[in-house]
Amino acid sequence: MMPLNKSYAPIYKLIAVTALLIVFALTWIQSSEEAPPPITEHSFEIGHAIWTIRPYPAKVLKNNTFTLELTDSAGTPLQGASLAIKLDMIGMVCGDVVFKMKEASPGHYTGEGIPLMAGMWKATLTIENGDKTYALERHLQAVR
């Protein structure tokens, strides 16, 4: 192994300090993000969705209940749809979590998802109704 050239020492120090500042800034920005609300409302082509997560913020490595109230454009419960949610941690390349929702009562769907790590997640809901497919997204915070 070759010894480091001492004339490059100030450059190495500058690179190290810059890297530390970048890591600190990214950590501060991520930690200062306000947690999205536990209940969100979404309109889509054929209706309206009210999406609730309990407990909130979601708990890491625990079952968290995702509830959806779906209505059509007339306000009638949207029944018989096939729903699935994919959890994807923002800024990470770790595994996604996919789970299906079950219709508990007309227009009310429920399912359980487990975030793998603390941080901000994107949840993508896929609604299949007849021959149409719709996608809704929201963010959620997961904590230990």
Look at 27 and 10; give whichever has higher pLDDT: 10
Structure-block tokens of residue 73: 């454009």
Q: What is the pLDDT of residue 2?
A: 60
**Neighbouring residues of 81: CB distance < 8 A, sequence distance ≥ 6:** 70, 103, 109, 127, 128, 129
Average model confidence (pLDDT) across the chain: 88
| Assessment of whether the complete model's pTM goes beyond 0.85 | no
Identity of the amino acid at 31: S
The whole-angstrom separation of Cα 63 and Cα 2 is: 53
pLDDT in tens, 105-136: 999 999 999 999 999 999 999 999 999 999 99
Q: How far apart are the first and last CA of the chain?
A: 44
